[in-house]
Amino acid sequence: MKRFEDLIAIVTGAAGGFGKALAERLHAEGAKLVLSDVRAEGLDGVAASLGDDVALCAGDVSQEDHSRDLVALALERFGRLDVAFNNAGIVHGFSKLALLDSQEARRVIDVDLMGVFYAMKHQLPVLERQYRRDGRGGAIVNIASVAGIAGAPRLGIYAAAKHGVIGLTRSAAAEYASKGIRINAVCPSYARTPMATDALGLIADDVASAEKELTRGVPMRRLAEVDEVVEVMMFAGSPANSFMTGQALAVDGGITAV
Ligand SMILES: NC(=O)c1ccc[n+]([C@@H]2O[C@H](COP(=O)([O-])OP(=O)(O)OC[C@H]3O[C@@H](n4cnc5c(N)ncnc54)[C@H](O)[C@@H]3O)[C@@H](O)[C@H]2O)c1
């Protein structure tokens, strides 16, 4: 039996990185997908490789209407929504707080924090209504970061946004626990997606030194592979997770263990 057989899933940020890998894994495990990204061409490429049972909606998660449209598309095309992976996110350039550009900071808050708020705001009423109607629960998985659990020097606004995502996750989890909805956050450390590999280039000229620098505080002394993180996202969103809610799951090679 496939883990997501006939479940309807939204994935944001699905054109690259975690979102693309997640979409591929969910599809292989039987899910029907509503995929979103600001990069429409990237989204088309992912959909072409997947084939059937995929609906696309290009847009920006920092715009509330986009979150409303995604939920509406899930209902219109597939008749329900079972699980949402609120994954789209951006990071700002490494910078001490006083030197951060305020407009860039505002953009990170709008995408990484408000984007997750808008997403849940439109997903929760549908999940709650379905639970009341047929008793089938739903799940939301928000992608935060280890920067949402502890401070992240030179990534201050990103850390603030991700702390906010965990705050939203825990609060909503408590509010909706009795309505059949499990809501968790996944908190990766650096993983081998374009977001992290782009950062490597900013740290040192050669990749090996940059990786060493980036993984200095990681007990496992390495970056995460994308699939290692996606596996945890899959579990958190799957029916197999029936009693865990409101958690910030660190997938971090041991960073938060010490
Ligand atoms: N890669 C890491 O090391 C790492 C670590 C911790 C947390 N994260 C988080 O994981 C999530 C996914 O990151 P990733 O590493 O796959 O990044 P990525 O840059 O590889 O992919 C992110 C995707 O989101 C899309 N996107 C960006 N802004 C958007 C917007 N406003 N609306 C809709 N789509 C948008 C991009 O086009 C891209 O396809 C993010 O929330 C990120 O903060 C990543």
The percent of residues above 90 in pLDDT, for the chain, comes to 90
H-helix or E-strand containing 44? helix 40-50
Q: What is the pLDDT of residue 201?
A: 79
151 or 137: which leads in pLDDT: 151
Tokens 């699980």, residue?
83
Residue 16 structure tokens: 């690259």
- Ligand 1 atom 4: residue of nearest CA: 190
Write down the pLDDT at residue 169.
Answer: 99
Report the distance separating Cα 10 and Cα 69, nearest Å: 11
Please identify, by atom number, the ligand 1 atom nearest to the C-alpha of residue 188.
Answer: 6
Distance from the alpha carbon of residue 86 to the mean position of ligand 1, in angstroms: 10
| Residue extents of the structural domains in the chain | 8-189+225-250, 191-223
Give 217-233 pLDDT, tens digit per residue.
999 999 999 999 999 99
CA 84 to chain centroid, in Å, comes to 9
pLDDT value, residue 196? 85
> Mean of the pLDDT values across residues 154-175?
98
pLDDT digits (tens, 9 = 90+) for 38-69: 999 999 999 999 999 999 999 999 999 999 99
Inform me whether the pLDDT recorded for 256 exceeds 90: yes
pLDDT in tens, 187-221: 999 999 988 888 887 787 788 888 998 899 999 99
Rounded to whole angstroms, the Cα distance separating 249 from 224 reads: 14
Among 195, 218, 220, 222, say which to mutate for ligand 1: greatest number of ligand atoms within 8 Å of CB: 195
> Residue 214 has what pLDDT?
87
As a whole number, the mean pLDDT across the chain is 96
For residues 90-119, one letter each, b for 16 or more C-beta atoms within 10 angstroms of the residue's C-beta and e for the rest, the string is bbbeeeeeeebeeeebeebbbbbbbbbbbb
The residues lining ligand 1, judged by C-beta closer than 6 Å to any ligand atom, are 12-13, 15-19, 37-39, 42, 60-62, 87-90, 111, 143, 145, 188, 190-191, 193-196
pLDDT of residue 197: 85
| Fold category of 8-189+225-250 in CATH | Rossmann fold (3.40.50)
